[in-house]
Structure 1
Amino acid sequence: MDDFGIGNAENVQILVENSPLTAVGLPESSFAEDSFHERIPSRFRRLDELGKGQYATVYRAEDLEDSKKIVAIKHLRLLTDCERTHLGGSTNDLREAEILSSLAHPNIIRLISSFNDGPQKTLIMECMDFSLEDVIRDKRSLPEFLFSHIMYYLLHITHGLAYLHKEKVVHRDLKPNNVLLNVKGEVKIADFGCSKRYCHSDPRYTKQRGSRTYLPPEVLLCSSVVNETVDLWALGCISAEFCTRKPLFGVEGEGSDLAQLTRIHSILGSPDSEDYPEGQVKGIDVSKFHRYPRVPPNEIIPKAHDVVHTVMGKCLVYDVGKRWTSQACLTHLLQFDGEGTSFHVPDPWPVPRTARRRESLIIPPAKRRSEQITPLESSNTLDLSINEEEEESHSPSKKPRLSGNLQEKLCHSKVRRKLF
């Protein structure tokens, strides 16, 4: 048994109390094999793949013992010794389950249960319909982000961050793809594979980190001072993306830490020595970076709303000590929305095409074909077959075979006579 109460395939321990998965000690027959050689309890029927990352794959599944409730099943790949060494001895496969099991907030994805099957770690979580990235990229579903949309997303994301930081948890991989939504208007922060318990007395840098595009400069520079404000830098990037519809600091190709830093400096302007107080960045002379002039947020994205300029200006700050905290950001957003209308689901609520297509994937083909037939088409087919049977029963001999076009015209005339 490991430190977090996760057993093996012969002794499955449920992490979350009052979970619907209350069986302990599931036998081997309780697991179902699939084509990917990953196993899940047989009470779940896998539907489709939701996403795949470097360390995990997420599927959507039905819980056959809970009214076919839709859940998300996340298979965490076992890290190799080389990967663990590169990530500083990280045990993210266990840490994600431990952290999620201790969290309970409407803006944080909910962990239903967790189990081990040998080296395979699996999390069962509530399932959402699409991500914020899907909405941002799909301009057809939402041609332009209105102020109500921006405030709604920012408020809910910041609420979740404020709760995480209060619980001493740093997400470290906040980005639009890890902000999940559903058709009801719920917004939840997900994917805690890079998250970590934070201690102010020991803010040491670790090698594990999230997507480079949303990382702050101190992480790219391997700073010795990394705290919860890394999530606020990512929030500033997301706020800009509502207007740009693409990553603000995106670098073509795989890029590198140096290319990412250069991209940040070229947009915000180069940092000065006072932007990195003594001890934050060791062994790096920031004065040797190529010099770019400082650019205020309202010049970076002139057409953005004032709230976007404010969040960018307070979150995209080089000095960690001057960067907004999640609570300060939340307080400002609440003051900005004096009437509290931004907590109402904005109209229209965008549902990207990817989510609509996904719904068709889980419907069996036969059922999908039957649902595509309209009542009029169904009655046409029925009436036509009855007419043919009646004519054959009254005909003493078999009718000659008609050509395709003539047969089609005859069918239409029969249907028309029957309907009208």
Structure 2
Amino acid sequence: MIGTGAFANVFHGSFQGRAVAVKMLLKSRTSTVSQIQSFVHEIQLMSQFDSPYIVNLVGAAWTRADDLKCVMEFMDGGDLKEYLDTHSSQEFAWADKYVHLLSIADGLCYLHSMNVIHRDVKSRNVLLDSTKGTKLTDFGISKEDIQATRTVGVGTFRWMAPEVLQDQGYDVSADIYSF
């Protein structure tokens, strides 16, 4: 297993000879219709993306609705939080930090140009590869509308913009705050 979230686990796999990441809804709990719809929405949203700063969707597979799998490119460097937790500040050169920051900013600019708010920008949702590539991932709560939104408490508490916490309308600026 590569990672786990509130509703899904991500596993390492192989597809047509290439390494992939496979996201599956948690089996330990019964998936609700709402969770399945959200997962389908995430896959549909990812199918529209074509950016070097967004993790690539390879495809989706299922035998039943609650067996849906999202197959994505595998980023062999793990997530940014894991990297920061296991490397000292001396090991993380300023030039590398700058490259990662620009990649994240470019990814957000791309999403916002597609009228998508990520709504959960955090170090766990930034993936790295061995060539120092950086990509955004996890679009499970992303919203396809950059007009003011009023969904309270969407995202990860420590990374949320004040307007999200205070039940005010918010837009792409909430992603920028989280960044």
Q: TM-score if structure 1 supplies the norm length?
A: 0.39
CA 1:90 to 1:213, structure 2 compared with 1: closer, same or farther past 3 Å? farther
Residue of structure 1 equivalent to 2:23: 74
Q: Which amino acid aligns with 2:82?
A: D
* 2:80 equivalent to 1:132: yes
Q: Which amino acid aligns with 1:214?
A: W
**Take 2:41 and 2:3, find their aligned partners in 1: how far apart are those partners?**
20
Tell me the secondary structure at the aligned position of residue 62 of structure 2.
strand
Decide which of 103, 116, 124 is 1:169's aligned counterpart. 116
CA 1:151 to 1:213, structure 2 compared with 1: closer, same or farther past 3 Å? same
**Take 2:69 and 2:87, find their aligned partners in 1: how far apart are those partners?**
34
**Take 1:139 and 1:215, find their aligned partners in 2: how far apart are those partners?**
25
Residue of structure 2 equivalent to 1:110: 56
**Take 1:221 and 1:90, find their aligned partners in 2: how far apart are those partners?**
28
**Take 1:195 and 1:131, find their aligned partners in 2: how far apart are those partners?**
19
Tell me the secondary structure at the aligned position of residue 173 of structure 1.
coil
Larger Rg: 1
Decide which of 78, 94, 112 is 2:40's aligned counterpart. 94
Tell me the secondary structure at the aligned position of residue 121 of structure 2.
coil
Equivalent positions of 1:127-276 (< 5 A) are 127-129=74-76, 130-140=78-88, 143=90, 145-200=92-147, 203-207=148-152, 209-223=154-168, 225-235=169-179
**Take 1:177 and 1:80, find their aligned partners in 2: how far apart are those partners?**
25
Task: Please tell me whether the aligned partners of residues 146 and 172 of structure 2 are also in contact (alpha carbons under 8 angstroms).
Answer: no
* 2:14 equivalent to 1:62: yes
Displacement after TM superposition at 1:120 (Å): 2.2
Displacement after TM superposition at 1:100 (Å): 0.1
Displacement after TM superposition at 1:144 (Å): 5.2
**Take 1:70 and 1:162, find their aligned partners in 2: how far apart are those partners?**
28
Equivalent positions of 1:321-360 (< 5 A) are none
- In terms of fraction of residues, the more helix-rich structure is 1
Residue of structure 2 equivalent to 1:314: none
Task: Please tell me whether the aligned partners of residues 152 and 165 of structure 2 are also in contact (alpha carbons under 8 angstroms).
Answer: no
Displacement after TM superposition at 1:208 (Å): 6.4
Gaps (5+ residues) in structure 2?
Answer: none
Q: Which amino acid aligns with 1:75?
A: M
Number of residue equivalences: 174
Displacement after TM superposition at 1:115 (Å): 2.7
| Cα distance per residue 1:140-178 (max 9 Å; x no partner) | 5x5354321221111110001000000001111111111
- Bigger shift: residues 68-77 or 104-113: 68-77
**Take 1:210 and 1:180, find their aligned partners in 2: how far apart are those partners?**
17
Task: Please tell me whether the aligned partners of residues 194 and 208 of structure 1 are also in contact (alpha carbons under 8 angstroms).
Answer: no
Q: Which amino acid aligns with 2:167?
A: C
Displacement after TM superposition at 1:132 (Å): 1.0
Q: Which aligned segments of 4 or more residues in structure 1 are displaced greater than 6 angstroms?
A: none
For CA contacts below 8 A with separation 6 or more, give which structure has more relative contact order. Answer: 2
CA 1:213 to 1:170, structure 2 compared with 1: closer, same or farther past 3 Å? same
| Cα distance per residue 1:324-369 (max 9 Å; x no partner) | xxxxxxxxxxxxxxxxxxxxxxxxxxxxxxxxxxxxxxxxxxxxxx
Instruction: Report the aligned-residue RMSD.
Output: 2.0
**Take 2:167 and 2:62, find their aligned partners in 1: how far apart are those partners?**
33
Displacement after TM superposition at 1:90 (Å): 9.1
Tell me the secondary structure at the aligned position of residue 68 of structure 2.
strand
Gaps (5+ residues) in structure 1?
Answer: 1-48, 236-420
CA 1:105 to 1:145, structure 2 compared with 1: closer, same or farther past 3 Å? same
Residue of structure 2 equivalent to 1:346: none
**Take 2:95 and 2:20, find their aligned partners in 1: how far apart are those partners?**
30
CA 1:167 to 1:149, structure 2 compared with 1: closer, same or farther past 3 Å? same
CA 1:122 to 1:97, structure 2 compared with 1: closer, same or farther past 3 Å? same
**Take 2:144 and 2:123, find their aligned partners in 1: how far apart are those partners?**
22
